[in-house]
Chain A
């Protein structure tokens, strides 16, 4: 057993309101420099939809992540040897069109327009060329089913689980639905970006599991961009280096929540540390598709288990980190309650960001006169929810529908229980039966309710102490650092080596 700590996240999709405040908090802090304009380390996608960059989930095109070949776990992109041969030719890279051409406007024309015969206007221009341009794509182009016949209808997951007729019906008012999927780097346990980097510039920090691209070492090969199936590594065209979500380590290191999580007004996000056994990563990532989620749960260690605690101490982990792992809301959602699931586990990167799937409205039928009649369920239900379970399974469980249904049974039983308790128009024995079917009990759903609805900042985000004096001490005596206080010139990473 090699016990490691991973700062890990849960996104409760039922609560996501699709506001994108997270994306903008991130953009403000990190990516509005030249070369990063088109990067959205945090973005929010409408599902069904084609995402950003467009159709990134289509690995037949992009070849991201890992595959099992002949019982071996291999990068889908190919081995490092073939990579190096093809180093100047990487057909699996998304182009600017797959992202979008960043634009701005000739704003100054408004104030500076000379007297004319009509009202002046600020025209769109390319941020790349400075020329006038037609805007044909953006980082959130299919927001809220924008262009649904062109975009949502081509969601690779939808195409996988629905035939053409089903897809057509899906866009009729009786069944139509969408929800939001916010995405950041998954800070994977088995990161294919790291494995794909020919320069060894990407690493996973030992103390918290954050995956970083060294702005010193990166040589701009962009294999990480191809290798990441989530397309969460980006190429800075100005510096010539790859950049990606850093999980706001400068904030985490000072005990502050990452900006995207701080700013989440839907309060959907949870952050905490989880302990895992680094010796079992390869074995776990090599399991058959349907076993991946369960295997990943197994990989995550019980922070209350004396044996785990002993091993963690042996591996140099501070007691304060172990304590934080015991308080982790993420551990509860992922391991204890089994409500949060990884996105596309079949890509085998062992992503450490987990999602609670959303409850969605019930379906309706149209009467002969064309009147809209709803299904009679009191709450959203498993059977009549607008988005079929098989779609959710294609996102979160590599197709295992039962695993998704288990989540929904518990979420719904919780609501039914609270209804019975606070109103009483649903009888309590009915609620208890629902709990039993969901393999839950009143205490568990009260705990889930508390963390879902009531918990404050300190309970939703349990940041382990980063022990910065220990980290700094490796290079310089903290007392000296204190006196110097990081004085010096700030330099941007230089292009090339």
Chain B
């Protein structure tokens, strides 16, 4: 044909050079994006003439075992537009300070030669303080010099330490895994100073509490390649296409390998497109569906017939055979505590007898004490903490009974709650009577309690349903319909297919779950209901099986060595680590806007309090949760007074503090949070959007932290139900003296901060990155140097350290001691501290630091040498080794080896491995981590063998010679090694899957019984009816107090407002990127059902207001049939800086973002502490800041949008 053109006339095709020239570039550098997307994708960054032009995915991940699809290319629509930011008009090129503050500072510095005095002259002047606080968020930034900014910040910190204590200086940076050295720069600096680090995983409500509840582990999940090994995949609240974009293909490919995909999602979400079955379960009601699935599984696979694989799994790997005492309550019984070895004559006097538990042995027909429970973990004799079914007393074999039905002594009626139907049931349970030192006691197995809880009829008396079609009685397939909207036949078929697949494949069924389920107030229950199905079918700890929850890039793989560096444990310990939710709930005064919840005050017992704040305070007093500031007085002063009173040793000093507390001369800050001496004062934010996307209850942050404008109109209603904590009539507004933000773009947090420090972007620095979703470690790399005046986070904190040391010469010329209060910790002997709940402040027990109350530790600080300490890897790592997940690995000899091969930093006549450059720090992390140094892994396994008493080191034998360093990672991402700190086995390209080591090598879970927990016997769980998996529906609009004062105008609707993760941004990052805004609708729209929209007269793309008592959003509507009625979706965390007009309903103030309509709620059971898996660890445990149970009024915007 005439249009085919060969190269016969080459001149006519010379123009083709035009596009060839555009493609040409000068170099390609490997980097990635530090953005908490969980992607951790390796990218190639293209540079031309010294300018970053674009990025493309790297394609060189080492392969996994044959038969698995490849990872690459990994990277999504968001990552591929990052380069836009670098030279964009939102780029922060220089440090900035708000003009009002800058004028005060210049003025003060002219008067005072000492910067600390200059700072005092500003913050101690209420008028000045008020003026720069109210100017926050309202423009007026001026370019500043690095020197003056660093000086002002260092001065404010020194001032705060002197006046109030270093525990009033706080720092927030989330998700170290995404750029772990950038995180570590700030955390190392703060911990050397004595400041407080706030957690993030629980603050985001990404942390799934059901995971520690069940497994004693914050989260341990399969890498995405393992999805391909699954044969039945249920996704629940996890929109893989949207949020697991680079890995969604594994599920799609698994379908072609014969897997079925079932999607649970209220809307026809993007992943629903790939489903075989899309099940539109009502939002926040997932638990009910799983309760009914479990009913069917138990009925058909445990009663009608038995599956040997399931039964054997349950006996060995779960707490199902363990014995629970039944307690008399009125005419019937309640399920009580696990029966303990110390209760029985046979086991009298065994060490930790309160912490060893019993099963009913079929052979001896007696209660017996299997190994592996937590008492064995912390006893003197090591090597019996394993899952062999042997008696811990004499090593005899045990054959545990799951059910006592056949060999029962009696059937007793036990009381169960149906929280969905708000009614109680009594159901017959087979029991045995056991002779204890308190007399004869009825006991039942967890399995039999479970059968009753799920209402599975076995011919026993009581409120059991007649059939699946019984709509009244929990937990039948018919019962769940009214909550979920899903028909019973679908549930029955789902349960059968799920269990049959597990039976045929020995457990290859997985539930992939995410924030769609996890952000609800009762998320732990939704999760536990699903987890129960997985345990019943033997799916956990199996490749292709298990609960795979992905919510945030929480997995920092080389945690053992990294935490040493990041928390400055090589110089000083313990660090000050605070759970974010409690901190913000208290300090941003959100507690003041909350009333008592009905389930906040169970009828009796230690949890019978009306308001969460009182429980929170009790949790701090009893050492369950951390809280900073610690006391209503400066810890430096306290130290001085203790010493003056003659206390010298740590024990004497702690004793003196206890006396002060008992006499009431000293109080915990939590007990009077609005008193000025208890406020946090200086906040440093980096790698975060802490005032916006991380700020659940954003409008309260603006009011109480910043002291600036706020759109909240809710009344403060807590007073009448708060009893222990001090209520102050006038709430504190503007608690923070200084807010500092390190940023490369002008996001909402930067806009509201006092000082902005220009930081290098992800293509301008060297760093490390890991994720749950794959098993590699790979770098961020500097394709170009930090642009304009920006600096890397590591260097910014080094600069701040230098300035601090400089100012300290006058204010803290010599080393000094102070007191650090820390809670009882998981994976330490603390977790067997409190067999019962007793409050020393009520005189129920003695006040004993580290046992009935928090630890009180004496710590030495050296501000003058803080900068030197920052720069050098200190001797603490030699002395203490590294630790993660309770595995302590000695590395003293390796330290010498390392020191010989790396640059040295010398001060005061001693040489240390240098940490001056972030790459030095990266190499230290890589060298001392079991995941990147085979010898460290081997030594760790030897240590773990000692604890467990079974061979394990063979897993690391073949990898002892492996040493990764930074330069290798730059060449190619490297696969992590099998590690004693994690539970997957990844040798020979095997895909990582959580808890495989527990199942295959009989390593106990880090729980009370060492098994997976279906039953939680802590008093809190019994008080709130959550010992067994149960269902509690989402919180009703009335109980949220969301729309009490907000006007319900004509043509408005109250809708449940959910905020899942969106397509065009990762949280707030990329939202302001023009490419993303172009492919969406130029603004984050509000998704409404078409019929709901028509009811309020809203058409597609019209402007709407969505508001409640917390705040208001003004945006455009998207009207879509894929959204169910009664629900609206506002995808998570758009910046309120882009295209948000003013709100007529809220006094013509600027509309806010997703968190403007939220207020956080903390769940009481999750504060429990000092009790096995219910023990605190930073980011690993504690009450999440849930915000999903939110409602808004939606109406059409009046008139045209107003911008000014």
Q: For the complex, what is the distance from the CA of A253 to the CA of B17, rounded to whole Å?
A: 12
Fill in one digit per residue for A7-21: 1 if any B CB lies within 8 Å of its CB, else 0.
Answer: 000000011011111
B77 CB within 8 Å of chain A: yes
Across the interface, do B481 and A371 meet the contact criterion of CB distance under 8 Å? yes
Of chain B, the residue at the smallest CB distance from A28 is: B54
Across the interface, do B241 and A17 meet the contact criterion of CB distance under 8 Å? yes
Q: For the complex, what is the distance from the CA of A327 to the CA of B16, rounded to whole Å?
A: 28
A206 touching B1072 in the complex, CB below 8 Å, given contacts A143-B1080, A266-B252: no
Of chain A, the residue at the smallest CB distance from B271 is: A17
Of chain B, the residue at the smallest CB distance from A450 is: B256
Q: How far is the CB of B875 from chain A (nearest CB, A)?
A: 45
Across the interface, do A263 and B56 meet the contact criterion of CB distance under 8 Å? yes
Across the interface, do A107 and B73 meet the contact criterion of CB distance under 8 Å? no
A423 CB within 8 Å of chain B: yes
B438 CB within 8 Å of chain A: no
Across the interface, do B490 and A144 meet the contact criterion of CB distance under 8 Å? no
Q: For the complex, what is the distance from the CA of A202 to the CA of B1, rounded to whole Å?
A: 13
B141 CB within 8 Å of chain A: yes
Q: How far is the CB of A182 from chain B (nearest CB, A)?
A: 12
B379 CB within 8 Å of chain A: no
A427 CB within 8 Å of chain B: no
Across the interface, do B19 and A246 meet the contact criterion of CB distance under 8 Å? yes
Across the interface, do B1122 and A138 meet the contact criterion of CB distance under 8 Å? no
Q: For the complex, what is the distance from the CA of A29 to the CA of B81, rounded to whole Å?
A: 11
Contact of A119 among B88, B1077, B1136 (CB under 8 A): B1136
Across the interface, do B1101 and A373 meet the contact criterion of CB distance under 8 Å? no
A199 CB within 8 Å of chain B: no
Fill in one digit per residue for A115-151: 1 if any B CB lies within 8 Å of its CB, else 0.
Answer: 1111111111000000000011011110111111111
Across the interface, do B1100 and A147 meet the contact criterion of CB distance under 8 Å? yes
Q: How many residues of B contact A (CB 8 A)?
A: 131
Q: For the complex, what is the distance from the CA of A212 to the CA of B15, rounded to whole Å?
A: 11
Contact of A17 among B16, B57, B245, B1074 (CB under 8 A): B245
B487 CB within 8 Å of chain A: yes
| Residues in chain A near residue B228, CB distance under 8 A | 453
Contact of A115 among B20, B77, B135 (CB under 8 A): B135
Most chain B CB inside 10 Å of its own CB: which residue of A116, A250, A376: A250
Q: For the complex, what is the distance from the CA of A107 to the CA of B1138, rounded to whole Å?
A: 8
Across the interface, do B248 and A17 meet the contact criterion of CB distance under 8 Å? yes
Q: Give the dominant DSSP class at A's interface.
A: loop
| Residues in chain B near residue A249, CB distance under 8 A | 16, 19-20
Across the interface, do B83 and A379 meet the contact criterion of CB distance under 8 Å? no
A418 touching B258 in the complex, CB below 8 Å, given contacts A120-B751, A121-B1138, A212-B16: yes
Across the interface, do B249 and A475 meet the contact criterion of CB distance under 8 Å? no
Q: For the complex, what is the distance from the CA of A276 to the CA of B278, rounded to whole Å?
A: 42
Fill in one digit per residue for B82-102: 1 if any A CB lies within 8 Å of its CB, else 0.
Answer: 010000111010001001100
B1119 CB within 8 Å of chain A: yes
Across the interface, do B1121 and A145 meet the contact criterion of CB distance under 8 Å? yes
A474 CB within 8 Å of chain B: yes
1065-1118 of chain B: CB within 8 A of chain A: 1072, 1074-1075, 1077-1083, 1085, 1090, 1099-1101, 1118
395-438 of chain A: CB within 8 A of chain B: 414-425
Of chain A, the residue at the smallest CB distance from B1138 is: A122
| Residues in chain B near residue A419, CB distance under 8 A | 231, 258, 260
A-B contact count (CB 8 A): 376
B330 CB within 8 Å of chain A: no
Across the interface, do A360 and B273 meet the contact criterion of CB distance under 8 Å? yes
Contact of A139 among B271, B1078, B1099, B1122 (CB under 8 A): B1078
Across the interface, do A471 and B7 meet the contact criterion of CB distance under 8 Å? yes
Of chain B, the residue at the smallest CB distance from A254 is: B23
Q: How far is the CB of B506 from chain A (nearest CB, A)?
A: 11
42-67 of chain B: CB within 8 A of chain A: 53-57, 59, 67
Across the interface, do A422 and B249 meet the contact criterion of CB distance under 8 Å? no
Most chain A CB inside 10 Å of its own CB: which residue of B68, B70, B96, B1079: B1079
Q: For the complex, what is the distance from the CA of A264 to the CA of B75, rounded to whole Å?
A: 9
Q: For the complex, what is the distance from the CA of A378 to the CA of B232, rounded to whole Å?
A: 11
Most chain B CB inside 10 Å of its own CB: which residue of A29, A144, A152: A144
Most chain A CB inside 10 Å of its own CB: which residue of B54, B96, B273: B273
| Residues in chain B near residue A290, CB distance under 8 A | none
Across the interface, do A456 and B246 meet the contact criterion of CB distance under 8 Å? no
Contact of A265 among B100, B138, B246 (CB under 8 A): B246
Across the interface, do B6 and A207 meet the contact criterion of CB distance under 8 Å? yes
A456 touching B70 in the complex, CB below 8 Å, given contacts A18-B273, A205-B5, A474-B7: yes
Q: For the complex, what is the distance from the CA of A202 to the CA of B12, rounded to whole Å?
A: 11
Across the interface, do B73 and A265 meet the contact criterion of CB distance under 8 Å? yes
Fill in one digit per residue for A214-239: 1 if any B CB lies within 8 Å of its CB, else 0.
Answer: 11110000000000000000000000
Q: For the complex, what is the distance from the CA of A101 to the CA of B12, rounded to whole Å?
A: 34
A361 touching B277 in the complex, CB below 8 Å, given contacts A29-B54, A378-B497, A475-B10: yes
Across the interface, do A138 and B3 meet the contact criterion of CB distance under 8 Å? no
A362 CB within 8 Å of chain B: yes
Q: For the complex, what is the distance from the CA of A419 to the CA of B259, rounded to whole Å?
A: 7
Fill in one digit per residue for B198-212: 1 if any A CB lies within 8 Å of its CB, else 0.
Answer: 000000000000000
Complex interface: stretch among A60-68, A170-178, A318-326: A170-178
Across the interface, do A367 and B487 meet the contact criterion of CB distance under 8 Å? yes
| Residues in chain A near residue B486, CB distance under 8 A | 371-373
Across the interface, do A27 and B1075 meet the contact criterion of CB distance under 8 Å? yes
Across the interface, do B73 and A263 meet the contact criterion of CB distance under 8 Å? yes
Of chain A, the residue at the smallest CB distance from B229 is: A422
| Residues in chain B near residue A107, CB distance under 8 A | 88-90, 746, 1072
Across the interface, do A17 and B1121 meet the contact criterion of CB distance under 8 Å? no
Contact of B260 among A104, A118, A171, A378 (CB under 8 A): A378
Across the interface, do A119 and B258 meet the contact criterion of CB distance under 8 Å? no
Across the interface, do B258 and A423 meet the contact criterion of CB distance under 8 Å? yes
105-147 of chain B: CB within 8 A of chain A: 135, 137-141
Q: For the complex, what is the distance from the CA of A190 to the CA of B3, rounded to whole Å?
A: 9
Q: How far is the CB of A35 from chain B (nearest CB, A)?
A: 14
Across the interface, do A173 and B18 meet the contact criterion of CB distance under 8 Å? no
Across the interface, do A372 and B276 meet the contact criterion of CB distance under 8 Å? no
A113 touching B56 in the complex, CB below 8 Å, given contacts A139-B1079, A171-B1090, A415-B256: no
Q: How far is the CB of B1082 from chain A (nearest CB, A)?
A: 4
Q: For the complex, what is the distance from the CA of A282 to the CA of B268, rounded to whole Å?
A: 44
Q: For the complex, what is the distance from the CA of A455 to the CA of B502, rounded to whole Å?
A: 28
A17 touching B268 in the complex, CB below 8 Å, given contacts A191-B3, A204-B3, A421-B258: no
Q: For the complex, what is the distance from the CA of A124 to the CA of B1080, rounded to whole Å?
A: 14
For this complex, 22 residue pairs linking A to B, each with C-beta atoms less than 8 Å apart, are A19-B241, A23-B1079, A24-B77, A110-B90, A111-B96, A115-B100, A115-B139, A115-B140, A118-B709, A138-B1078, A138-B1082, A151-B1100, A194-B3, A203-B3, A250-B20, A263-B80, A266-B249, A267-B253, A361-B277, A361-B278, A425-B504, A453-B254
* Chain A residues at the B interface, C-beta cutoff of 8 Å: 4, 14-15, 17-21, 23-25, 27-30, 102-105, 107-108, 110-124, 135-136, 138-141, 143-152, 171-173, 176-180, 190-191, 194-195, 202-207, 209, 211-212, 214-217, 246, 248-251, 253, 259, 262-267, 278, 281-282, 358-362, 364, 367, 369-374, 376-380, 414-425, 449, 452-454, 456-457, 471, 474-475, 486, 490, 492-493
* Chain B residues at the A interface, C-beta cutoff of 8 Å: 1, 3-8, 10-24, 53-57, 59, 67-70, 72-77, 80-81, 83, 88-90, 92, 96, 99-100, 135, 137-141, 228, 231, 240-241, 245-246, 248-249, 252-258, 260, 263, 268, 270-280, 481, 485-490, 493, 497, 500-501, 504-505, 709, 746, 751, 1063, 1072, 1074-1075, 1077-1083, 1085, 1090, 1099-1101, 1118-1122, 1124, 1136-1142, 1149-1150, 1203
| 10 nearest CB pairs, A to B | A113-B139, A115-B140, A206-B6, A373-B487, A418-B258, A475-B10, A419-B258, A135-B1082, A107-B89, A203-B5
18 A-B pairs besides A251-B23, A376-B493 with CB distance below 8 A are A14-B274, A27-B1075, A28-B55, A29-B54, A114-B140, A119-B137, A119-B138, A122-B1138, A143-B1079, A147-B1119, A206-B4, A263-B73, A265-B245, A361-B276, A361-B278, A419-B231, A425-B500, A457-B70
